[in-house]
C-alpha cells in the first residue's frame, strides 16, 4: 500500500513538473511592457547573444541585397550570405536561453533560419533577382512583426 501511495505521489509530482516546464516553454520568461509589447526577460549576456544573432541575420539580408544590386551579381556571395544565417547558425543556441523565449518568438526565429537556407538553395538554383527579393520581403515581414510584438529586458 505504501509503495502505491508513494508511486502515485511521484507520478503527480512528475506531472506538475512537466506542466510547469511546458508552461515556461510556451510563455517563456516574459512580462507586459509599457509600450504594449511583450518584454522578454533575459540576463544581460543572454540578451547580447540574441541581439547579436539578429544583427547577423540583418547582415545576411544586406549581403544578399548588395549582391543583387551590384553589376557583377556574384551569386556565390549571395548564396553564402544567406547560408551563413541558416539553420547552422541556430544549432548551438543555449537551451537555457531558448527556455526563456516565448514559443511564438522561437517559431518565428526558427522559420527565418529555415527560410535563409531555402533562400540560399533558390539562389544556387538560379532564381531571378525578383524571386529572391520576394523571398526576402516575406522574411523581413516576419522580422518586423516580431519587433512589433517583443522587446528585451534584463533582470
- CA pair distance 151, 105, nearest whole angstrom: 11
Angle at 129 between CA 123 and CA 133, to 5 degrees: 90
H/E element, 82: helix 75-84
The string of pLDDT tens digits covering residues 89-123 is: 988 888 889 889 999 999 999 999 999 999 999 99
Classify 134 as helix, strand or coil: helix
- Residue 62: which pLDDT band, with cuts at 50, 70 and 90? very high
The string of pLDDT tens digits covering residues 124-146 is: 999 999 999 999 999 999 999 99
Average pLDDT over residues 36-61: 95
Strand ranges across the sheet with 30-32: 30-32, 38-42, 150-154
Query: What pLDDT, on a 0 to 100 scale, did the predictor assign at position 4?
Result: 76
Domains and CATH numbers, the chain: 2-154 (1.20.120)
Interaxial angle between packed helices 44-69 and 103-124, expressed in degrees from 0 to 180 and rounded to the nearest 10:
30
Q: Is the pLDDT of residue 25 over 60?
A: no
Give 34: exposed, middle or buried? Use CB within 10 Å, 0-12, 13-18, 19+.
Answer: exposed
Amino acid at each position: 500500500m505504501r509503495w502505491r501511495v508513494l508511486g502515485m505521489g511521484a507520478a503527480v509530482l512528475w506531472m506538475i513538473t512537466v506542466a510547469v516546464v511546458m508552461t515556461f516553454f510556451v510563455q517563456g520568461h516574459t512580462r507586459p511592457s509599457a509600450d504594449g509589447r511583450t518584454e522578454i526577460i533575459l540576463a544581460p549576456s543572454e540578451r547580447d547573444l540574441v541581439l547579436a544573432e539578429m544583427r547577423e541575420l540583418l547582415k545576411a539580408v544586406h549581403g544578399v541585397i548588395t549582391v543583387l544590386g551590384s553589376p557583377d551579381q556574384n551569386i556565390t556571395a549571395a548564396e553564402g550570405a544567406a547560408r551563413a544565417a541558416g539553420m547552422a547558425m541556430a544549432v548551438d543556441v543555449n537551451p537555457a536561453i531558448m527556455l526563456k523565449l516565448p514559443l511564438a518568438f522561437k517559431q518565428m526565429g526558427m522559420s527565418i533560419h529555415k527560410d535563409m537556407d531555402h533562400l540560399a538553395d533558390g539562389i544556387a538554383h538560379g532564381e531571378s533577382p525578383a524571386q529572391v527579393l520576394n523571398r526576402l520581403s516575406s522574411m523581413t515581414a516576419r522580422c518586423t512583426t516580431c519587433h512589433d510584438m517583443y522587446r528585451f529586458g534584463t533582470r
